[in-house]
Amino acid sequence: MRGADLVYDTTLTLEETFKGKKEEIDLPRLVNCDTCNGSGCAPGTSVRTCSVCNGHGQTRVSRSSGFSTFVTVQPCNTCKGQGKIIERPCSKCKGAGKQKTTKKFSFEIPAGVEDGEYRIPGEGESVQDGVNGDLIVRIRVQPHDKFKRDGSDIFYDANISMIDAALGKNIMVETLEGQEKLEVESGSQPNTIVKLKGKGLPRQSGRGRGDEYVRLVINIPTKIDKQQRKLLEELKDSFNRD
C-alpha cells in the first residue's frame, strides 16, 4: 500500500524567483490515535490472536481435482488478514489505531526556478501500514510587466526619443536589483540590443546568473507643433547639404 501523491500549487513573482522563496504548508498525516495509543482497542481491552488463522492472517484452502490437489493461500476472512481481532474497538478511531492530523512542512524553492513540477519524496498522503506518497509542488512564475524571460536571461525594452538616439544619452534602465545607468551611444539604431552581463536570474545549475538584454526602442514623435516642424525642416536641410 502506498499513499496518494499530494499536489501543491504555488505562484511566484519574478522578484520571488530571483531570490528564491521559503514556503510553509500544512500536510495531512496519519498518526497513532491518542486515545488507544495506536492499538485500536477501547481502554481496558486488548487485542486477541485470531483463532481461525492462528495469527498468520492467511488461510490455506485445498481443492482436489482428479489426482491433483491445489492449495491456495488467501487472506483470513475472520480477521481481514490482520491476524488479530479487536474485541472492542476504540470509539475515537473505530479500531483503526490512527487518527488524522496536519503537520507543518517547510521547504525552499530555489532561486531561478521555472514553471514545472518538482517532486518531494515521502511527503504525500500517509496510509495505514504503507509508505507515504510524494508531495508534488507545481510552480508557476507570473508574467512580469517589464521583463520577459527565457530561462535565466531576461529582456527589457528601454524607450528613448529619436533625438536622444542621435545625440547619445545616459538613461536609467530597470534591472532585478533596481535601476541602473546605461550609456546610449550617439547614433544608436532602433532595436539595438545592449547586454548587461550577469544581470539575469540565477541559473538553475547553481552556477552564476543569466544576462539582461536591453532593447533600445526609439520613439518618433506622433504630434509635432509648428515650431518643431520648422526646426525639423531646418534639420533636414542641414543633412541634405552634407
Which residues of this chain interact with Zn ion, rule CB under 5 A? 33, 35-36, 50, 52-53, 76, 78-79, 90, 92-93
What is the distance between the alpha carbons of residues 26 and 131, in angstroms, rounded to a whole number?
Answer: 19
Angle among Cα 120, 126, 129 to the nearest 5 degrees reads 130
Q: Which of 181, 185, 189, 194 is nearest to 162 (CA)?
A: 189
Of 32 and 192, which has the nearer Cβ to Zn ion?
32
Alpha-carbon distances of 10 from 21, 118, 131, 139, rounded to whole Å: 11, 11, 25, 5
**CB of residue 73 to Zn ion, shortest distance in Å:** 13
Note whether 63 and 110 are within 8 A (CB).
no
**CB of residue 76 to Zn ion, shortest distance in Å:** 3
**CB of residue 47 to Zn ion, shortest distance in Å:** 12
**CB of residue 123 to Zn ion, shortest distance in Å:** 25
Of 49 and 228, which has the nearer Cβ to Zn ion?
49
Of 97 and 200, which has the nearer Cβ to Zn ion?
97
Of 52 and 120, which has the nearer Cβ to Zn ion?
52
Neighbours of 194 (CB within 10 A): 17
